[in-house]
């Protein structure tokens, strides 16, 4: 008798085999998902950090522009209050070099004589940008000291030592091209009253003057996580870390975890140096930015 060696080729699988296959495929799927998801997670984190770094760098560049257009010796900082850092400066709108004589006999030259009363002078080479000087703009000569400058700027009347023209009741008038040709000259007049610059000295060592219309304050608060730029406010003799009353405010950067502004005043051997330290965080992704800006302080 011959044994039956034929089997049914449509033989199926058991429930146990099906469960084993499902478990194995699930494990492989989880492993593959983890392998592929990690690069995407890292890419998202890197993109987030790059965006934070770009925003922080843009904020620092905005501050750098103002610092490099600051009135000499007008930069000051305050870090006395924990969680708040403040940087303040006076912004140069325009400026130039004044015709200078060292006594009051200057009628033919129309020059500026520090320590003597003046009512007009010629700008050698002309102004750089302004064709007229709006009401409220102030003229600065020889801002040799930060304390003296801000004491003068905060005074509504005649400022001590004649560093800054008065903040009220005083106007500047500009006549472009009073002298034309290859060496043009503009003329600035004090239309309200005479003014005596640099009562105790001889004026700017380089015969420079500056036109300014506002102070600029950067206030960084770790509590709110915001860096804000303030303009058009009444400047004080001493720096304050509070929000200036009535100022125009513009948000520069948010998501700030910590910040600090440092300033090394300039000396004969080097320029002033401002260090900006910013740390921004989003979704537990931190970025630290340190930027140093040279500040020109020659009056």
With a cut of 50, list the residues of the chain below it in pLDDT.
none
Q: Find the angle CA(100)-CA(177)-CA(122) to the nearest 5 degrees.
A: 15
Mean pLDDT value across the chain: 86
pLDDT > 90: percent of the chain: 51
Domain limits, the chain: 50-89+214-295, 92-213
CA dihedral 198, 200, 202, 206 (to 10 degrees): -50
- Per residue in 37-91, pLDDT (tens digit) is 676 676 676 777 888 899 999 999 999 999 999 999 999 999 998 899 999 999 9
pLDDT of residue 36: 67
pLDDT of residue 3: 55
pLDDT of residue 288: 95
What are the E-state strand segments in the chain?
A: 76-78, 84-98, 117-118, 120-124, 138-141, 172-179, 185-190, 195-196, 208-221, 226-231, 248-253, 256-264, 272-282, 285-295
pTM confidence score: 0.83
pLDDT of residue 50: 85
């Amino acid at each position: 008798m011959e044994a039956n060696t034929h089997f049914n080729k449509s033989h199926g699988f058991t429930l146990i085999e099906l469960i084993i296959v499902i478990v194995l495929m699930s494990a492989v799927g989880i492993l593959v998902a983890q392998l592929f998801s990690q690069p995407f997670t890292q890419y998202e984190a890197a993109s987030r950090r790059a965006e934070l770094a770009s925003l922080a760098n843009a904020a620092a560049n905005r501050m750098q522009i103002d610092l490099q257009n600051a009135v000499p010796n007008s930069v000051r900082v305050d870090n006395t209050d924990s969680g708040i850092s403040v940087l303040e400066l006076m912004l140069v709108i325009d400026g130039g070099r004044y015709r200078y004589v060292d006594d009051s006999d200057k009628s033919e030259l129309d020059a500026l004589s520090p320590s003597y009363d003046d009512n007009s002078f010629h700008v050698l080479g002309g102004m750089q940008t302004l064709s007229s000087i709006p009401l409220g703009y102030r003229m600065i000569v020889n801002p040799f000291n930060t304390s003296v400058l801000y004491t003068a700027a905060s005074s509504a009347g005649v400022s001590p030592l004649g560093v800054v023209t008065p903040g009220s009741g005083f106007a500047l008038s500009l006549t472009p091209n009073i002298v034309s040709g290859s060496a043009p000259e503009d003329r600035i007049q004090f239309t309200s009253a005479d003014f005596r610059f640099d009562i105790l000295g001889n004026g700017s060592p380089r015969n420079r003057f500056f036109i300014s219309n506002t102070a600029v304050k950067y206030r960084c608060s770790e509590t709110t996580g915001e860096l804000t730029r303030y303009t058009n406010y009444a400047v004080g003799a001493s720096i304050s870390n509070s929000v200036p009353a009535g100022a125009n405010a513009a948000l520069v950067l948010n998501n700030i975890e910590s910040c600090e502004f440092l300033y090394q005043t300039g000396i004969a051997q080097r320029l002033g140096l401002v260090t900006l330290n910013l740390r921004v965080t989003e979704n537990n992704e931190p970025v630290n930015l340190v930027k140093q800006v040279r500040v020109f302080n020659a009056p």
